[in-house]
A and B are shown apart, each in its own frame.
Chain A
Amino acid sequence: MPELYDLTLEAARELLLKREVKVEELVLASLERIRVTEPQVSACLATREEEALELARDMDREGPAPEKILWGLPLSAKDVFCLPGTPTTAGSRMLENYRPTFEATVLTKLREAGAIIVCKTNLDEFAMGSTTEFSAYKPTRNPWNLARVPGGSSGGAAAGVAARQVPGGLGTDTGGSIRQPAAFCGCVGLKPSYGRVSRYGIVAYGSSLDQAGPLTRTVADAGRILSAISGPDGKDSTCSNLPVPDFVNLASRDPRALTLGLPPEFWDGEFDPAVREALDRALAELRDAGVTLKSVSLPRVPYGVATYYILASAEASTNLARYDGVRYGFRASESSELAGLYRDSRSKGLGQEAQRRILLGTFVLSSGYYDAYYKKAAQIRRLIQEDFVKAFGEADFILAPVSSIPPWPFGAFTEDPLTQYQLDVMTVPLNLAGCPGLSLPVGLGADGLPVGVQLWGPSFGEQGLLEAGSLLEKIFPPLPAPPLK
């Protein structure tokens, strides 16, 4: 039998239900794996050893509950999900000592499905970043090469899943924060349609863009977690009332009946040679399997980065206005007047990147600039959404690269924010359109680092997306485990 920490969610579930493995053993294996790999990858901000083991023992006493689709399975949660009794920092000094009094709906749903949250994972502060370098606590390292970034902002979640700390994790994706770290760490990552999953109890960044979703090692496992967290929520009016299809029992797809659209706006661009070679190999494998590949244009995606950073920063500046040092979070105590208390608490409690986005957001929303930037970006957002609707009339799904370059060394872009923003060009359009996207590995590049692709589907089309993703997963070669000690 493989090591317990090496099991996928589906494999572990089978053993749990047959009582060949106890929940406690599985949770202990996960905690032990965290202990061994954490000095190398730094994926976690907190572990929940006592709570997780107590829950596991209770479950073992009560016996298997097969109707719960995640019964007894250990998972991680990015540290933006409010979990009562556990610090929820959002990677910020501002929330260093914050302990929520309420639970994020997605965590309630995971708990009700039988999952056990064993750790909270690292991220860029308030999910603003693509590397975890903007975490106020520590950077997470890429399990494939510890000198490289794991991607972000859900970098802790991706690195932890790749390092076999947990078989699955929950992240959030505002502009690629699930899909890009999944690609950088060789995992599967799914950003659901906007409105598929409740945002209640998630520390807010860009409220019209944020969605929670799974990071796993297989597409089927991503579907299982998505099944558990989807559905309407009376606590989030942007959460859709549409019925949730079955994401667990997926139909198999015939490659000869699948047409993927390749936007030339991405595929014709410049790539790092190792990434290009891995992507070309993947396209050849798809063609050999009988999948039809055709060029489908998304003419406005080249404007995605500018549009996204205007809208996301505007929403961030509004959302982060709540951090004032009064009701919760960090307070700089020296000021004797109210405005000074706000200013001192925010300036000291918020990091450089969060402050930059607040400044940008304040600027694009301020009178005199509102129409030229904020309104203009919102208009282009509609055009980008229209491009997506049109593209799905020409192909079943869109196939896009995730990044034109491999995971980069630490510090490569921290002093060059504009370039770092521009690297998000292949992930942000999806959030603007509100559509679902699945990132999955196609193999390793010549540099030994994972390379991923994204499959984009029409709004609320996650079922088809997962079916197609399962097919692609079988066509691409499986990744080995990363070379950790």
Chain B
Amino acid sequence: MGADRQTVLAMAALARLDLARGLAPEEAEPRVAKIASEFSQIVGYMDILNEVDTAGVAPLYSPMLEPQLPREDEPRPRPQTDAKAAAILEAAPRRSGRFFVVPRVV
């Protein structure tokens, strides 16, 4: 099964990507067409997995052979949150006081 241009645009919308961002309309269409064609080729290649019989095979999501036991739930002193929070906020592209700034949502 290949994936068409519509599918690629739908995936881009889900992933919050604008594939034609910053391009003039006459450049946008060839760009999207190229991405869709490469995408379709890759997904088409992935269909070779259908050659393998996987009936009854449990999926493997992590290669760990032994399950890891969680660590003990031991109380620890509260870390110095104010300095840490200030340092973390320092990395925010826009901030106001103790807050991250985003466009108005309500």
A binding-site residues for B, Cβ under 8 Å: 98-99, 101, 194-195, 208, 234, 237-242, 300, 303, 306-307, 309-310, 317, 321, 324-331, 333, 335-344, 346-348, 350, 355-356, 358-360, 362-364, 366, 372-373, 375-383, 385, 417-418, 421-422, 431-435, 459
User: Is there contact, CB below 8 Å, between A326 and B52?
Assistant: no
Residue tally, chain B, CB below 8 Å to A? 55
Q: How far is the CA of A341 from the CA of B91 in the complex (A)?
A: 17
B8 → chain A closest CB, angstroms: 6
Residue B33, interface by CB 8 Å: no
Q: Which residues of B contact A432 (CB under 8 A)?
A: 63
Q: Which residues of A contact B42 (CB under 8 A)?
A: 309, 360, 417-418, 421
Q: How far is the CA of A340 from the CA of B105 in the complex (A)?
A: 11
User: Is there contact, CB below 8 Å, between B21 and A241?
Assistant: no
User: Is there contact, CB below 8 Å, between A336 and B68?
Assistant: no
B69 → chain A closest CB, angstroms: 7
User: Is there contact, CB below 8 Å, between A383 and B57?
Assistant: yes
User: Is there contact, CB below 8 Å, between A341 and B39?
Assistant: no
Given A363-B7, A363-B11, A379-B60, also A326-B92 (CB < 8 A) = yes
What 9 A-B pairs come out closest when comparing CB atoms? A434-B63, A378-B59, A331-B93, A382-B60, A379-B54, A328-B91, A347-B21, A379-B57, A342-B16
Interface residues in B68-90 by Cβ distance below 8 A to A read 68-71, 84, 87-88, 90
Q: How far is the CA of A348 from the CA of B63 in the complex (A)?
A: 34
Q: Which residues of B contact A358 (CB under 8 A)?
A: 15, 17
Residue B27, interface by CB 8 Å: no
Residue from the list A241, A330, A335 in contact with B103, Cβ < 8 A: A335
A379 → chain B closest CB, angstroms: 4
Given A338-B103, A418-B38, also A373-B63 (CB < 8 A) = no
A126 → chain B closest CB, angstroms: 14
User: Is there contact, CB below 8 Å, between A363 and B64?
Assistant: no
Q: Which residues of A contact B26 (CB under 8 A)?
A: none
Given A101-B91, A379-B60, also A346-B17 (CB < 8 A) = yes
Most buried by B among A240, A306, A330, A381: A306
B binding-site residues for A, Cβ under 8 Å: 1, 3, 7-8, 11-12, 14-19, 21-22, 35, 38-39, 41-43, 45-46, 48-52, 54, 57-66, 68-71, 84, 87-88, 90-94, 100, 102-105
21 contacts between A and B (CB under 8 A): A303-B49, A303-B51, A306-B48, A306-B49, A327-B92, A333-B94, A336-B104, A337-B105, A343-B17, A356-B38, A358-B17, A359-B17, A359-B35, A360-B39, A377-B46, A378-B61, A379-B54, A379-B60, A381-B59, A385-B63, A418-B45
User: Is there contact, CB below 8 Å, between B102 and A341?
Assistant: yes
Residue from the list A344, A356, A379, A434 in contact with B59, Cβ < 8 A: A379
For residue A330, which residue of chain B has the nearest CB? B93
B23 → chain A closest CB, angstroms: 10
Given A327-B92, A329-B93, A360-B43, also A380-B49 (CB < 8 A) = yes
User: Is there contact, CB below 8 Å, between A377 and B49?
Assistant: yes
Q: How far is the CA of A378 from the CA of B68 in the complex (A)?
A: 20
User: Is there contact, CB below 8 Å, between B93 and A325?
Assistant: yes
For residue A193, which residue of chain B has the nearest CB? B63
For residue A368, which residue of chain B has the nearest CB? B7
User: Is there contact, CB below 8 Å, between B61 and A343?
Assistant: no
Q: Which residues of A contact B105 (CB under 8 A)?
A: 337-338
Given A347-B21, A366-B11, A381-B59, also A331-B48 (CB < 8 A) = no
Q: How far is the CA of A147 from the CA of B87 in the complex (A)?
A: 42
User: Is there contact, CB below 8 Å, between A331 and B103?
Assistant: no
User: Is there contact, CB below 8 Å, between A240 and B68?
Assistant: yes
User: Is there contact, CB below 8 Å, between B21 and A344?
Assistant: yes
User: Is there contact, CB below 8 Å, between A336 and B18?
Assistant: no
Q: Which residues of A contact B18 (CB under 8 A)?
A: 343-344, 347
Residue from the list B16, B35, B45, B54 in contact with A356, Cβ < 8 A: B35
Q: How far is the CA of A346 from the CA of B87 in the complex (A)?
A: 23
Q: How far is the CA of A234 from the CA of B42 in the complex (A)?
A: 39
Q: A309-B42, A347-B18, A347-B19 known; 14 other A-B pairs, CB under 8 Å?
A: A99-B90, A194-B63, A237-B71, A303-B49, A327-B100, A330-B93, A335-B103, A336-B103, A340-B103, A347-B22, A378-B60, A379-B57, A379-B59, A432-B63
User: Is there contact, CB below 8 Å, between A317 and B15?
Assistant: yes
B85 → chain A closest CB, angstroms: 10
Q: How far is the CA of A148 from the CA of B100 in the complex (A)?
A: 44
Q: Which residues of A contact B51 (CB under 8 A)?
A: 303
Q: Which residues of A contact B57 (CB under 8 A)?
A: 379-380, 382-383
Q: Which residues of A contact B12 (CB under 8 A)?
A: 359
Q: How far is the CA of A340 from the CA of B104 in the complex (A)?
A: 12
User: Is there contact, CB below 8 Å, between A362 and B14?
Assistant: yes
Q: Which residues of A contact B54 (CB under 8 A)?
A: 376, 379-380, 383
